[in-house]
């Protein structure tokens, strides 16, 4: 899929213009087949660095590399025609300086054809966001619980409770002022999400931040129930595909061992169709 095709669908400008309008529906994708499914319905498709945990079995997102993001970004690009394609900048590829962020973000955009990148951080990342936007790289921001800072937070706890609300609000305001076209609010109380959404002029995309936001995003594998043992409070399961897949695999193995598969209809004969022996 070319960058020109992306231009015919959603854009950072059109997403920003949705502020206060119909809620934005967003999901992650990491492969071409899943991208084709979610692209039919979503406004934004995010290639999240959650790919490290979801597809590669890593314990966190911290070991995800730029090459991994580009590889999965290219795969998703082939399946996206209408939604806005955004790709996460992984840990260690943008924090050092605005110049480092530009080099790596430019590479991601050039090699994947995505329309925007996402990076984590608020006040501390405002200068970098401003630098990127001024040089033609649209940025989606991410504040609240930022998984790349899990070691600093000491886990995946809710952010912005009590006096800490001011910090998250300042982060959201800073990224909006710096030129981000949207901001993900992760795992913050509903009251805070509502206040931030009312206060800033760019769409807020919630994940564990209530319906007060301008849109919602989930990891597609969580929403589909592909993990039978992972049930975060903020995820609603719209399917139980993990259990269905397990049952299908068990049935297949049973049929193989009982020689019920392959059956006659799955076997090729010595005579080609339409011919006689």
Partnered with residue 139 across adjacent β-strands are 117
CA 114 to chain centre: 13
- Distance CA(131)–CA(60), nearest Å, equals 28
d(CA 57, CA 16): 34
- Residue 13 and residue 29: Cα distance in Å, rounded? 22
Does 50 show up as a binding residue in the annotation? yes
Q: Is 120 annotated as a binding residue?
A: yes
Query: Does 233 carry a binding-site annotation?
Result: no
Tokens of 89: 């900048």
Exactly one of 81, 96, 127, 186 is catalytic; which is it? 186
Per the annotation, the verdict on 240 as an active-site residue is no
Does 270 show up as a binding residue in the annotation? no
Task: Give SS3 for 186.
Answer: strand
Question: Quick one: tokens of 209?
Answer: 């931040």
124 annotated as belonging to a binding site for a ligand: no
Cβ neighbors of 146 (< 8 A, separation 6 or more) are 120, 121, 186
| In the chain, alpha helices (H) | 3-7, 12-16, 32-39, 51-54, 66-77, 98-112, 126-134, 150-153, 165-178, 190-199, 220-223, 241-257
Q: Which of 148, 142, 134 is nearest to 117 (CA)?
A: 142
What's the CA dihedral at 248, 251, 256, 259 to 10 degrees? Answer: -140
- Which residue from 97, 96, 116 is spatially nearest to 105, judged by alpha carbons? 116
**Residues carrying an active site annotation:** 186
User: From the annotation, which residues make up the binding site?
Assistant: 49-50, 88, 118, 120
Residue list, annotated binding site for 3-methyl-2-oxobutanoate: 49-50, 88, 118
């Amino acid at each position: 899929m070319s960058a020109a095709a992306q231009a015919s669908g959603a854009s950072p400008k059109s997403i920003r213009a949705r502020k206060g309008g119909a809620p934005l529906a967003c999901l992650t994708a990491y492969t071409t087949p899943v991208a084709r499914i979610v692209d039919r319905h979503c406004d934004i498709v995010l290639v999240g660095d959650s790919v490290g945990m979801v597809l590669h079995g890593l314990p966190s997102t911290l070991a995800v590399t730029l090459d991994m993001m580009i590889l999965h970004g290219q795969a998703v690009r082939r399946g996206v025609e209408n939604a806005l394609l955004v790709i996460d900048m992984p840990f260690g590829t943008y924090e050092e300086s605005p110049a480092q962020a530009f080099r790596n973000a430019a590479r991601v955009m050039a090699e994947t054809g995505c329309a925007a990148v996402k990076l984590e951080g608020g006040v501390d990342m405002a200068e970098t966001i401003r630098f990127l936007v001024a040089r033609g790289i649209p940025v989606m921001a991410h504040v609240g619980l930022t998984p790349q800072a899990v070691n600093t937070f000491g886990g995946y706890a809710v952010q912005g409770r009590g006096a800490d609300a001011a910090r998250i609000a300042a982060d959201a305001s800073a990224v909006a002022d710096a030129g981000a076209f949207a901001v993900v609010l992760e795992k913050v109380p509903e009251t805070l999400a509502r206040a931030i959404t009312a206060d800033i002029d760019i769409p807020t995309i919630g994940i564990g931040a209530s319906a007060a936001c301008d849109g919602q995003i989930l990891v597609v594998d969580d929403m589909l129930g592909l993990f039978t043992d992972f049930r975060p409070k903020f995820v609603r399961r719209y399917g139980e595909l993990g259990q269905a897949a397990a049952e299908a695999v068990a049935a297949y193995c049973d049929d193989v061992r009982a020689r019920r598969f392959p059956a006659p209809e799955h076997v090729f004969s010595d005579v080609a169709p339409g011919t006689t022996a």
